[in-house]
Structure 1
């Protein structure tokens, strides 16, 4: 999932995976059995994370099968040691899916060097695939947003889908698939980010992403608040 710093890609993926881990429906997809997953975060601190999940409706006893690691002490994932560190975390969490937020924070080599991403695949992503563990990776757009994620194109060679999240203002978002190996499902989702706040804080259970419909537009009822850059980056 690729987006610039103001699109709110972390916020979107955090809600998506929280719903996946707790067996809730999301964006029109029916509720399914909870999936054990590991969210590895090198972008967001504990205070922001706690506020976000409370605003989704999460909290103690309501996180499902999600294990969350904020700034974990792992070595770079483009090294053998880093791959071993993450695989140990996956084993402990019994995770079937891992999210890396943001993937460029977990490497030691140059982001523009194809060898960096080949090493990430060799040391971390390939062992995960062999273990039957799926991955979701968050990344930043490059300076030329029309060319997708920044850095070497090698970083996307092993993925099944690349999705770009772009803000349209007023809480409206577009999630567009720019690369796919399977072609399964729609290529574009028009979304609305809805939330309510009391002063500087978002109300518990008030934040959600929904498919854009005339009824979901933010004219009345639940106010759509894009939020500060700090909250949704």
Structure 2
């Protein structure tokens, strides 16, 4: 019987880490707010303005504009999967956001939002979302996919729902 060799994990000595002066990958949103391939969970108490903050932040990132000290390296392609706010109220909120006039064209092209969706991000939900994202951005993938609020698209089953940390981590 021949055993298949499992690939080994990468390891680095402290010396190798200290001696490596290669450039760091550019932050997607600096300073170290969101790094390439990273995930960010933004949470807080109900009705404190999380969605309004997120919407303002994402539109600024789509515009390539600084927001509260957070700076994208370029205008980011943002897909905002909205599962709470209906179209007319979403429209009202984005019209109140103050973007630099010189950046408005970038934001108009780079920020794509859904109105309130009623779906679970299981296989059936993903079968709807993935083609929608591809249609919105074509061959270039979005830089950022935001889901707001995650509890509306998450089915934790009988395990405790959105308050079951293990189930939520598995979902993410």
TM-score using structure 2 length:
0.60
Where does structure 1 lack aligned partners over 5 or more consecutive residues? 117-149, 160-233
Higher relative contact order (CA 8 A, sep 6+): 1
Match of 1:218 in 2: none
CA contact (8 A) 1:42 1:70 kept: yes
Partner residue, 1:20: 61
Distance 1:76 1:158, change over 3 A: closer
Q: How many residues of Structure 1 are paired with residues of Structure 2 in the alignment?
A: 122
Corresponding residue of 1:42? 83
Instruction: Encode CA deviations 1:117-138: one digit per residue, 9 max, x unaligned.
Output: xxxxxxxxxxxxxxxxxxxxxx
Q: CA separation of 1:41/1:24 partners in 2, compared to 1, >3 Å: closer, same or farther?
A: same
State yes or no: 1:153 paired with 2:169: no
More helix by share: 2
Deviations for 1:3-31, whole angstroms, at most 9, x for unmatched residues? 12221100111111101111111112345
Rg larger for: 2
Q: Is the Cα–Cα contact under 8 Å of residues 40 and 69 in structure 1 kept in the other structure? A: yes
Q: Give, in angstroms, the shift of residue 64 of structure 1.
A: 4.0
The DSSP-based 3-state class of the residue aligned with 2:130 is helix
Contact 1:24 1:32 in 2 (8 A): no
Distance 2:124 2:170 in 1: 23
Tell me how far apart the structure 1 counterparts of residues 123 and 70 of structure 2 sit (CA, whole Å).
37
Cα distance in 1 for partners of 2:164, 2:155 equals: 14
Normalising by structure 1, report the TM-score.
0.46
Listed one character per residue, the Cα deviations across residues 138-191 of structure 1 (whole Å, up to 9, x for unaligned) are xxxxxxxxxxxx5101213676xxxxxxxxxxxxxxxxxxxxxxxxxxxxxxxx
Q: Which one of the candidate residues 96, 115, 120 is aligned to 1:76?
A: 120
* Of 82, 85, 92, the match for 2:135: 92
Q: Distance in 2 between matches of 1:42 and 1:29?
A: 25
- Asked if 1:51 corresponds to 2:92, the answer is yes
Give the corresponding residue for 2:33.
none
Distance 1:8 1:82 in 2: 27
**Which ranges of structure 2 fall in alignment gaps of 5 or more residues?**
1-41
Residues of 2 paired with 1:30 and 1:100: CA distance? 20
Matched, 1:106 2:148: no
In structure 1, the residue matched to 2:22 is none
CA RMSD of aligned residues (A): 2.7
